[in-house]
Amino acid sequence: MNIYAGTYEGSQLVGRFMGNGKYKYKDYVYEGAFFDGLFHGQGTLYVKKGKFEGLWEKGKLIEGGFVFEDGLKHRQVENEYWDYCSIYDPRFHHEIESGIELGDPLVMETPLVNPPTLPEGCYDVLEGYYDPKKNTVMSYTIDEPIRKVSPDEHDWIIKNCRYVKKSEKRKTEIKTQS
């Protein structure tokens, strides 16, 4: 069926998309359930670089989320946080796929060309450095506060981020938990 924009193959009721079908528009394809002309039920919307898959209600994705073409799942719509490299799970997608369990030593680091020099007793959080005495992330470039951190983020930083021991002035190392 040709419509105003795109094409549709599938069930209809009174001229509206109803039941299972396939809707194509430019580079986008939706395959799945429809109700009253809207995405409704299980379905997948294929777009450049990935797809949105999950449960739809009246045209809106309510469960599931975006999956990149390499298989990496973006934050699911029903979750508040991204599932990778978060304060709740510091593992990269590849580490999870490789079977590294939460709490195991991490094998990957965010690559940095010329990593910045950390002040003594501080932790590298990429956007700046975390000073636990001030409970603040500071800018590397202008040595000004960027933001305060929550108690959960503080704990995560202490367990996972690159830091400089006070006894080793200006020497940067990776802290490991024993």
Summary mean pLDDT of the chain? 81
Q: Name residue 34's beta-bridge partners.
A: 19, 39
Q: In what order do the strands lie in the sheet with 136-138?
A: 123-124, 129-131, 136-138, 145-148
pLDDT digits (tens, 9 = 90+) for 74-87: 778 877 766 666 66
Of these ranges, 5-14, 34-43, 140-149, the one predicted with the greatest mean pLDDT is 34-43
